[in-house]
Amino acid sequence: MASLLQVSDLQTHYVSFGGERIIKAVDRVSFTLEEGQTLGIVGESGCGKTTTCLSIVGLLPAAARIVGGSIEFAGQDLARLSQREMRRIRGAQIAMILQDPMASLNPLFSIYTQVAEPAYYHRALRGRSLRERVRELLNAVRIPSPMLRMREYPHQMSGGMRQRIVGAIALAGGPRLIIADEPTTNLDVTIQAQYLDLLKELQEKTGVAIIFVTHNLGIVARMCDKLAVMYAGKIVEAGSVRDLFTTPKHPYTKALLGSMPKLGSKEKLLAIPGQPPDLATLPPGCAFHPRCPEALPICACEEPGEVRVDGSRTARCWRAEPQINDPAKEIHAAAAGN
């Protein structure tokens, strides 16, 4: 059976100054997602994770263009659909949850109107059945007394409740894929835990696939099955969450894991020197090499290709290449011997 979502070699560029300046925000990104699975996309700001998501839902800003690759979703290539065709997919098949619930809710419309809209357009529900659907959705996201609450407005809700309303809107069209772009960044710790538990529960009930965009590896450890680590527009390592957390292959993944403070430990954090590169002036070779503690001479001149480490695991690093890795090990062994 084909995957629910198969992104292959996706390239999204921002073009400015009449084509003189090209920023490769998403550079040959590939991943697949099955029904009911959760994929985490992790990276620092400006690594292209949000642009990847916006490419999937067809909501790129005017300056951005998909210049290559394909986004196969349930047998259709989303990259080639017109806006009119995309409109039938957005909300019905693919829904998005954004970071700031206050910005994604309209302050002038009641909760009912906003939750009902996707069901009205995509499920063709009217009248009593529409009201019943909204009640069910609000119940599902645990809004107390939904019949009363649906008449209220966003400003009457707390931050956690607003984000749950956004979740209800996302579910209203009965989507097969939800893209959640840092949905809990603005929430308090206990509210965040409640929200994550809720999403997990809804996923078990409805079998929806979720793409979780975040910079928080803790959320990935709790929520996701698969993980893609992005750096400077590329996926530098991808695989199952357990594999990546246990035996990270790419130095960037290792560094990200090392820079996470662990509860109850005073171990010095592994800081990554320098800062994420500007996509307009990428260093030659591997984009990570100036900050990489394990850089080889080759890293500065030639870009590493994607290496299949084992099974479904891939890494973009010269160290992961078998023919490079072996002599390096010997050098290390020799150094250790001296």
Residues that bind another protein (CB under 8 A): 44-45, 158-161, 188-194, 197, 215-219, 221-222, 241-242, 245-246, 255-256, 258-266, 268-273, 275-276
C-alpha span between 129 and 34 (Å, rounded): 31
Is 189 or 333 the residue whose CB approaches another protein more closely? 189
| Beta carbon of residue 259, minimum distance to another protein (angstroms, whole number) | 4
Is 122 or 226 the residue whose CB approaches another protein more closely? 226
If you ran DSSP here, which 8-state letter would residue 107 be given? T
| Tokens standing for residue 158 | 């707390």
Is 262 or 329 the residue whose CB approaches another protein more closely? 262
| Beta carbon of residue 269, minimum distance to another protein (angstroms, whole number) | 4
Is 168 or 244 the residue whose CB approaches another protein more closely? 244
C-alpha span between 256 and 217 (Å, rounded): 8
How much of the chain is in helix, strand and coil states, percent to nearest 5?
A: 40, 25, 35
| Beta carbon of residue 221, minimum distance to another protein (angstroms, whole number) | 5
Closest CA to 79 of 96, 65, 99, 92: 65
| Beta carbon of residue 138, minimum distance to another protein (angstroms, whole number) | 16
| Beta carbon of residue 324, minimum distance to another protein (angstroms, whole number) | 25
Is 188 or 302 the residue whose CB approaches another protein more closely? 188
E strands within the chain? 5-16, 21-33, 38-42, 64-73, 76-77, 94-97, 177-181, 209-214, 226-231, 234-240, 307-310, 313-315
Amino acid at 290: P
